Structure 1
């Protein structure tokens, strides 16, 4: 089913890191913000990475306050795509309906030092749509992190935290 990204990127003029997912999950679309599926480990990773109390990032207000305080911006690669439920693997990069968000919207308004994609689909889409990224933004570091989705059972929470430590170098 063709869907359009339902909300704007989350960032401000102080954001240093841009974390890019693929497309919001059903739960995130329903609740109007990033990583809202209770089984997604994104906010758990951040709690552990920054030594916060467990479950301190369960409400959107606390998530947004944390992200702003730590200069982390969130957005997704896809502006529109055909997607089945929340399944990234259902998105076809070559489909006529699959369009990318314009990253310059954030990159030209905030002093982003690093862009991190979360998951394989986001990484493949980044490479597909932003082939000139390094030419256009030579000083911005790019790296792929594993998906924080519970569907990524290959990575334990501890292993994800270890992988995500890299973001701290760019804050």
Structure 2
């Protein structure tokens, strides 16, 4: 199943360079939507979610779903997207555009919030915010009528949580919504 592309907002640059986020990776079968804040520099350069080699997002998913192995090869990103969609997981960000230097959430300025309700996901059972900046928008995502979770960020900037501790928190949400 291919990701559904929803156009990101068009924003005119005013006080600096406006960055535009990535299209969501969702399907009509998405049961849990993972929301990050905004793609980091590497992700924007590659046009791929969680592209920084030290981000633990893909490593956590592989630990949760060890069989089959996380796809590798020529079109690895497309295969990874299909791999997570096949399991009922979707990915997007709370911000569709912003001004930011570097990759840190603390540097985000003038954010434009994505229309998460506009995704119209008929099987959506939960939303899980990947990190604190994303979770700041939980009051909005709760209006969608599904459980909303705060997950520890998979970013390398979240060094205070061990991989094992992050994995346990993510596992709890996946088990609660029958993704494992």
TM-score (ref. length: structure 1): 0.84
Which runs of 5 or more structure 1 residues have no equivalent in the other structure?
A: none
Determine helix, strand or coil for the equivalent of 1:98. Answer: strand
Contact map agreement 2:21 2:97 (CA 8 A) in 1: no
Contact map agreement 1:44 1:57 (CA 8 A) in 2: no
Query: What is the rounded CA distance, in whole Å, between the counterparts of 2:79 and 2:175 in structure 1?
Result: 19
1:167 aligns with 2:171: no
Greater mean alpha carbon deviation, residues 108-117 or residues 14-23? 108-117
Q: Which runs of 4+ in 1 moved over 6 A?
A: none
Match of 2:63 in 1: 48
Query: What is the rounded CA distance, in whole Å, between the counterparts of 1:146 and 1:14 in structure 2?
Result: 25
Aligned with 2:93 (options 55, 76, 81)? 76
TM-superposed CA distance for 1:57, in Å, is 4.6
TM-score (ref. length: structure 2): 0.80
Query: What is the rounded CA distance, in whole Å, between the counterparts of 1:89 and 1:105 in structure 2?
Result: 27
Q: Residues 40-91 of structure 1, C-alpha deviation per residue, up to 9 Å, x if partnerless?
A: 000000111122477x355213311211111111000012222121110112
Give me the CA root mean square deviation: 1.9
Contact map agreement 1:5 1:24 (CA 8 A) in 2: no
